[in-house]
Amino acid sequence: EAGVAQSPRYKIIEKRQSVAFWCNPISGHATLYWYQQILGQGPKLLIQFQNNGVVDDSQLPKDRFSAERLKGVDSTLKIQPAKLEDSAVYLCATSGGAIEYEQYFGPGTRLTVT
């Protein structure tokens, strides 16, 4: 079974620029999560999708972050404009397999904002 795919793996941008991350879930997993992990901290949930509907986006900075999950499969997370404090690893996770509540992470995208 293929895992969660993410791209790009690394991105360096200047502040005020925009950036987008892509995630492809494990086949059949209905729930998709985007997390932000700052160095030395645990992952923090940004947004959760169930199929193509948003379940929880309470911690998403909506003035600059947006996310969508078209057709209930792939998802994109966008930051516009980026700030220095957005430097982090952005992790996509999915769940909905044999044990519904277990979440599996993709490799992540390391974002550096200069």
Partner 1 sequence: QKEVEQNSGPLSVPEGAIASLNCTYSDRGSQSFFWYRQYSGKSPELIMSIYSNGDKEDGRFTAQLNKASQYVSLLIRDSQPSDSATYLCAVNPHLTGTASKLTFGTGTRLQVTL
Please report, as ranges, the residues that interact with partner 1 according to CB under 8 A: 31, 33, 40-45, 48, 50, 55-56, 89, 91, 95, 99-108
Within 13 Å of residue 113, how many CA atoms lie on the same side as its CB?
18
Look at residue 50 and give its three-state secondary structure: strand
Shortest Å, Cβ 60 to partner 1: 13
Token pair for residue 36?
Answer: 């932000």
Could you give the CA distance from residue 14 to residue 78 in angstroms, rounded to a whole number? 15
Shortest Å, Cβ 15 to partner 1: 24
Q: Which is nearer to partner 1, 17 or 105 (CB)?
A: 105
Shortest Å, Cβ 16 to partner 1: 27
Look at residue 70 and give its three-state secondary structure: helix
Q: Which is nearer to partner 1, 3 or 15 (CB)?
A: 3
Q: Which is nearer to partner 1, 15 or 75 (CB)?
A: 75
Could you give the CA distance from residue 67 to residue 26 in angstroms, rounded to a whole number? 18
